[in-house]
Amino acid sequence: MTPYKDKEEFVKILSTLWERIFNTPEIMQGLGGEKIIVKFRFTDFDTSLYIDNSGDKPAYYWDAEGDAPFDVEMIQNSETSHKFWMEDLNVPLAIATRKVVAKGSVQKALKLLPALKPDFRLYPQVLREMGRDDLLQKAGAKKRKRRFKWFGRKGPRTYDLSRLEPFPLSLVREIESEEKPKGPEAVKAAEPLDLLRTIHTIRSFEEHLAKAFKDGEIPTDEYLVPIGKARVVRQGDAVTLYLFFVTYLIACKGRIPPRKKWKRNKRRNSMALTQDQLLILQELLSFDTINPPGNEDECASFIGDILEDHGFIIQRLEFAPKRTSLVALSKGHQSDKGAICFCGHMDTVPLGNAPWEHDPFGGKIVDDKIYGRGASDMKSGLAAMIMTGARLGEMDLRKDVVMLFTAGEETFCEGARYIAEHSEVLGKIGALVVCEPTSNRPMLGHRGAIHLKVRAKGVAAHASMPELGDNAIYKAAEVVLKLRDMDFHVTRHPLLGSPTINVGTISGGKNINSVPDYASVGVDIRTVPGLTAEDVLDQVRRLIGDRGEVEILNYAAPVSTDAEHEWIKEVFDIVEGVTGEKPKPAAAPYFTDASDLTPALGSPPTLILGPGQPEMAHKTDEYCYISKVEEAVEIYTKIAMKWAEAD
Ligand SMILES: [Zn+2]
């Protein structure tokens, strides 16, 4: 609920405030060094305030026309804004819990917070002048206090809980201490995001404990607290770690269990995966491998260590710094038919704008579901691969098995392309299983994808004399209409159907009163076997003539395997044996690393088969079913054993 009467009052109050801020030399000195344009978008009033400190003189403006540039955008409602100015909002926490959605150079914007501190005196002044003294009460303060008191009363008597700071923690102090970092240079500094995540986790943990106390349960069991991979080393962060540790000690009564015995809780559902196996999946989810930037390196090391322990030979392939793909090779002899290769990607897509109910890196388990970014796409698949590798290792059955963990799949298979260029490290591959989410239904292939950009050029002129120019948007418009009706003249594929085309973006022109000299169109084409990237490029060029230049931005090849192939029949039988469901020939809706790997490996029969739920891929509160992971381990193990046996 907005505390303001209406949009008009809101705009007036904030405009007055910013005029004051710009006229306070103390504040302006603090902001002087940062050349930045911050856009505050207020969702409830559907209006945007731009604070522009990029020029010589700072300025503010409301609802700039068109796409005004900005460095960072803070999306929130007017109530959150009010709380911010009342110093009643923990900004980093608000960002971590997505009360404020921040886009762009968030770090740069957060740095400005200490400089803005004196502003907080100005806001109450402005409110008073506008006759809104009634807004000067801090809404959240009372609530926070009560929660903590209640937490203290129910807590164990032997610990002095009043010495803990109340949550949420204020981050402003810690950000100030960033100016003079301590410790040796060689120590890697924590990213603000790591810190946010840690704080967020501590807060959820505190809430979890508070609830347990309220329910009259003094936790006596050990708790697993996923803290992601946050490295917390700076001075300010040490306070955080200390608090976390104290809370943790209380939870486990001062007794820290050894790593391997950590448990979630005693009331477990009937899951057949062991605690260690669940822990593997939770660990995988705790790695932030959001692409961009990816940072698959640590995740790769984690996987490599487990499989090395189980007798695999590990090779790492980096296509860029920290962008590590991993190859795990069995030590068994290589037969003529080659090895069976299981493949999966470690990166995930970003979290999106909608708030998550469950920590995207927490691996929270609710009944048969486990939540987290990548749960379905496709860390559940990776977990099933690792567990299969471990199982084969324990049974001493690793023979002719290759496991491939790729980086950078979500950005057109960068990691797989690099492996394809170095495919000699894999040896001969006789069959490929891509463990992408199919809910354990085997898929015989997928369409390919091509992203094109068509650039139309013209000659600029004044809009009052268009005859002197050459309008690039008219050309782009003609291109769009031609593409809409495009026919690729390729026979329909029995499994993958026909190619499709979609114009997804169009842009061009700078201002209304000019003839535009540039316009561009972004096109997505889904291809089927028999239609190569060159064919598409040729056909599009011929179609649009001299109206524009065509460039391929990204390409992934189609993949398809004959349902009658012997190995496919074998796998279908195995899947039916495990799931009780007879597989039907079908294709996956998305493309995979197989686009690059299958052709590079000499086109072995290729299946897409994995435990994730395809409909959960890239979604908010993504989850997968633990029982499906278990099923996948069963299927993969049988596929590998059959492969070794048939030798
Ligand atoms: Zn995927």
pLDDT tens string 168-212: 443 333 433 444 444 444 344 455 565 666 666 666 666 666 666
Tell how far the Cα of 597 is from the centroid of ligand 1, in angstroms: 15
The answer to whether 627 and 578 have CB atoms below 8 angstroms apart is: no
- The domain locations on the chain are 7-137, 142-261, 275-445+560-645, 448-557
Tell how far the Cα of 29 is from the centroid of ligand 1, in angstroms: 48
Q: Could you tell me if residue 338 is left (phi over 0), alpha (psi between -120 and 50 degrees) or otherwise beta? A: left
Tell how far the Cα of 400 is from the centroid of ligand 1, in angstroms: 25
Rg (CA), the chain: 29
Q: Amino acid letter at 242? A: Y
Tell how far the Cα of 274 is from the centroid of ligand 1, in angstroms: 25
pLDDT score recorded for residue 402: 94
230-244, 331-345, 563-577, range with the lowest pLDDT: 230-244
2 Cβ contact partners less than 8 Å away, ≥ 6 residues apart:
10, 44, 45, 77, 78, 79, 82
Handedness of CA 213, 218, 221, 227 (dihedral sign): positive
- In terms of pLDDT, which residue wins out, 397 or 278? 278
pLDDT score recorded for residue 582: 94
Average model confidence (pLDDT) for the chain? 82
Paired residues of 525 in beta bridges: 450, 501
First-to-final CA distance of the chain: 69
Q: Return the H-helix or E-strand segment holding 525.
A: strand 518-527
- Closest residue by Cα to residue 528 from 564, 483, 562, 559: 559
Tell how far the Cα of 386 is from the centroid of ligand 1, in angstroms: 17
DSSP code, position 169 = P
DSSP code, position 124 = H
> Cα separation of 588 and 343, whole Å?
16
Tell how far the Cα of 304 is from the centroid of ligand 1, in angstroms: 20
What value does the mean pLDDT take over residues 53-75? 82
Tell how far the Cα of 590 is from the centroid of ligand 1, in angstroms: 8
pLDDT score recorded for residue 28: 76
Q: Which of 66-80, 102-116, 260-274, 537-551 is predicted most confidently?
A: 537-551
- pLDDT band of residue 241 (cuts 50, 70, 90) is low
- Closest residue by Cα to residue 338 from 597, 636, 604: 604
Sheet strands (E) in 394-441: 401-406, 429-434
* Cis amide prior to 465 (ω within 30 degrees): no
283 Cβ contact partners less than 8 Å away, ≥ 6 residues apart:
302, 363
Q: Is 221 exposed, middle or buried (0-12, 13-18, 19+ CB in 10 A)?
A: middle
Tell how far the Cα of 376 is from the centroid of ligand 1, in angstroms: 8
In the predicted structure, residue 482 carries a pLDDT above the cut 50: yes
Tell how far the Cα of 111 is from the centroid of ligand 1, in angstroms: 35
3-state secondary structure 571-601: HHHHHHHHHCCCCCCCCECCCCCHHHHHHHC
Strand, helix or coil at 527?
strand
Q: What is the pLDDT of residues 88-100, one digit of tens each?
A: 777 766 776 677 8
Tell how far the Cα of 531 is from the centroid of ligand 1, in angstroms: 24
Tell how far the Cα of 500 is from the centroid of ligand 1, in angstroms: 21
- Closest residue by Cα to residue 451 from 416, 413, 493: 413
Strand 401-406, strand 339-345: pairing: parallel
Count of all residues that appear for the chain in the document: 647
Residues 7-137, CATH architecture: 2-Layer Sandwich (3.30)
Tell how far the Cα of 378 is from the centroid of ligand 1, in angstroms: 5
pLDDT score recorded for residue 156: 35
In the predicted structure, residue 404 carries a pLDDT above the cut 70: yes
- Closest residue by Cα to residue 281 from 364, 351, 194, 394: 364
Q: Could you tell me if residue 311 is left (phi over 0), alpha (psi between -120 and 50 degrees) or otherwise beta? A: left
Tell how far the Cα of 347 is from the centroid of ligand 1, in angstroms: 8
Tell how far the Cα of 413 is from the centroid of ligand 1, in angstroms: 10
Does domain 448-557 fall into CATH 3.30.70.20?
no
Tell how far the Cα of 464 is from the centroid of ligand 1, in angstroms: 51
What value does the mean pLDDT take over residues 3-25? 90
Kindly state the tokens that stand for 510: 């700078």
Tell how far the Cα of 566 is from the centroid of ligand 1, in angstroms: 27
Tell how far the Cα of 72 is from the centroid of ligand 1, in angstroms: 29
- Closest residue by Cα to residue 608 from 589, 621, 580: 589
> Cα separation of 89 and 551, whole Å?
47
In the predicted structure, residue 631 carries a pLDDT above the cut 60: yes
Tell how far the Cα of 374 is from the centroid of ligand 1, in angstroms: 8
The CATH code that applies to domain 275-445+560-645 is 3.40.630.10
> Cα separation of 385 and 402, whole Å?
10
Q: What is the pLDDT of residues 347-356, one digit of tens each?
A: 999 998 899 9
Q: What is the pLDDT of residues 147-173, one digit of tens each?
A: 333 333 333 333 334 444 444 443 333
CATH topology agreement for domains 7-137 and 275-445+560-645 = no
